[in-house]
Structure 1
Amino acid sequence: MSAFRILHLSDTHFSGDGGRHYGVVDTAEHLRRALAHVGHLLFDLVVVSGDVSEDGTVESYRRIREQITPWAQARGARVVYAMGNHDDRESFRTVLGGGQPDAGEQELPGIDLDRPVASVTRTDGWRVIVLDSSVPGAGYGDLELEQRQFLREALETPSERGTVVVVHHPPVPAQTDLLQALALDEQDASELVEIVRGTDVRVILSGHYHLPVMEFISGVPVSVAPGVTNISCAFGNPAEEAAIDGFGGSVVTVDDGRVRVVPFIERLTPDDIVFHFDADVVTDIIRDAGRSED
């Protein structure tokens, strides 16, 4: 079986007007640097696993597609996008369809533009399934029953070479209190893993945490990409939240019987913190955007 090479990016946070993220980060420049970092390589797939946009505008999706598509095509790859908590379903679907705009995707059934953005494709024996863990108006993640059933049905018949699942909120715990409050619903995470256990799913690709994490759950590898826009500080006070000015991604190679993940992180300004939230600010964010305890 020939290897399947994926450039895994996440959390690009583009704005329609090109504004700087947190008033600091030039997101287009960060993406340009991330792509240049691995520009000498060929890929089969470029994945942007959610928070593609910061403001959910149609123009933000057009801007990122205009930047990534020609780069990917020059390296033999197609591009896959997933919804994140900052994305807008209607605008996302207007520009990026079901997340796999360069392939004959089969979307989650339905006609409502605000339904979850989920799709499945098969290319050269590889199957790619995109799920939508976003909850409109919230920062945490869920997977509705219809998506879980969509995934089950898609996996009933194995693909010739295997399946890659892309979902923004990882089915693994976070490093900080804030990100844990904005994590995937625990029951949904467990059910996702249970659905893919024993199937041809080779790897789950996620984002959201802005730092590289690799975890195996019941033999299923989950790879979380570092953020393109900034890199979370993983080992500070977990009650606080901070990020450095840098970019990152991962090169994922799926081969016969093995999955290899090589993450990369580059700091742009060593002394620059993009943001730092103390425990009181984190508590306020959790109250406003986190999951209700009711």
Structure 2
Amino acid sequence: MSALRILHLSDTHFSGDGGRHYGVVDTAEHLRRALSHVGHLTFDLVVVSGDVSQDGSEESYRQVRDAVTPWARARGARAVFAMGNHDQRGAFRAVLGSGQPDADEQQPPGVDLDRPVVSLVAQDGWRIVVLDTSVPGAGYGHLESEQLSFLKEILAEPAAHGTVVIVHHPPLPAQTALLQALALDEHDGRELLDIVRGTDVRVILSGHYHLPITEIVAGVPVTVAPGVTNLARAFADPAEESAIDGFGGSVVTIDGDHVRIVPFVERLTPDDVVFHYDADVVAQIIQDAGRAN
């Protein structure tokens, strides 16, 4: 079986005007440092699993594409992008197509600019599936039945080496109250995991939580990449929300029956907090932006 090595990045949060994220983070510099951290390695795929943009502008997508794609090609890889809750489908498609612009993308029938950004590429015995959990105007995630049916139909026939699924909102519970309010719909997450159970899916790559998590569910590793733009605090008060100035990613290697996930996180300044929301602020954000009960 052919091995597959993936650089898994997520949550680059670029703005078209080059503005700093939360007024603090130089997102271009964070991405440069994340790529440089593993620049001595070769890869087959470089994945950015959503929230590619912060402002949803075409210019922001061009900036990320122009940073990631040449870097990937120089190391034998192609770039793959997924939609996140901050991304805008029209601008995403205008620059990045359906998320796998360096390959012949296959899409389910009837897709238009307002529909979820979904793609399938079969290459060298591997199958790469990009799904779209974004809900326009919302922070939480949803997988509509058409996408789930599309995935189920695809997986009915195994690929030679296996399938990688990329989706921004993880089908896993979050560490904090705020991120749980902005998580993937619980029913959708269960259905996704039920669909991949017993199939050739080797790993599910996701983001959104800005911290490294890997959990084995139904025999399939579900892995969350740490954020490129900042690193969420995993073990602070779960009623609060905060992030530090740093970057991260993961190197995922699939070789035979082994799936190895090695995350990396680097703090830029030990005491530099990007943001901190106390419990009252978190409760208000949940009321304003969380999924209605």
- Please indicate the TM-score interval, normalised by the length of the shorter structure: over 0.9
Aligned to 2:183: 183
Aligned to 2:164: 164
Distance across 1 between alignment mates of 2:274 and 2:126: 38
Aligned to 1:204: 204
Given the two structures, how large is their TM-score scaled by the length of structure 1? Answer: 0.99
Structure 2 counterpart of 1:102, one-letter code = D
Aligned to 1:218: 218
Counterpart secondary structure, 2:39: coil
Distance across 1 between alignment mates of 2:148 and 2:194: 10
Equivalent pairs, count: 293
Deviations 1:10-56 (A, max 9, x none): 00000011100000000000000000000000000000000000000
Counterpart secondary structure, 1:173: coil
What RMSD in Å do the two structures reach over aligned CA positions? 0.6
Question: How do residues 8-19 of structure 1 correspond to structure 2 at under 5 angstroms?
Answer: 8-19=8-19
Deviations 1:165-202 (A, max 9, x none): 00000001100000000000000000000001111000
Q: Kindly state the Cα deviation for residue 112 of structure 1 after the two structures are TM-superposed.
A: 2.4
Q: Kindly state the Cα deviation for residue 109 of structure 1 after the two structures are TM-superposed.
A: 2.3
Question: How do residues 82-101 of structure 1 correspond to structure 2 at under 5 angstroms?
Answer: 82-101=82-101
Given the two structures, how large is their TM-score scaled by the length of structure 2? Answer: 0.99
Aligned to 2:35: 35
- 1:49·1:83 contact (CA, 8 Å) conserved in 2? yes
Change (3 A) 1:191 1:47: same
Aligned to 1:195: 195
Structure 2 counterpart of 1:36, one-letter code = S
Aligned to 1:278: 278
Question: How do residues 1-294 of structure 1 correspond to structure 2 at under 5 angstroms?
Answer: 1-293=1-293
Deviations 1:62-100 (A, max 9, x none): 110011111000000000000000000111011111110
Structure 1, gaps ≥5 residues long = none
Identical columns (%):
74
Q: Kindly state the Cα deviation for residue 111 of structure 1 after the two structures are TM-superposed.
A: 4.3
- 1:82·1:167 contact (CA, 8 Å) conserved in 2? yes
Deviations 1:185-242 (A, max 9, x none): 0000000000011110000000000000000111111010000000000000000000
- 1:108·1:116 contact (CA, 8 Å) conserved in 2? no
Q: Kindly state the Cα deviation for residue 286 of structure 1 after the two structures are TM-superposed.
A: 0.8
Distance across 1 between alignment mates of 2:20 and 2:7: 24
Q: Kindly state the Cα deviation for residue 108 of structure 1 after the two structures are TM-superposed.
A: 3.0
Distance across 1 between alignment mates of 2:188 and 2:44: 30
Counterpart secondary structure, 2:282: helix
Structure 2, gaps ≥5 residues long = none
Counterpart secondary structure, 2:227: coil
Counterpart secondary structure, 1:262: strand
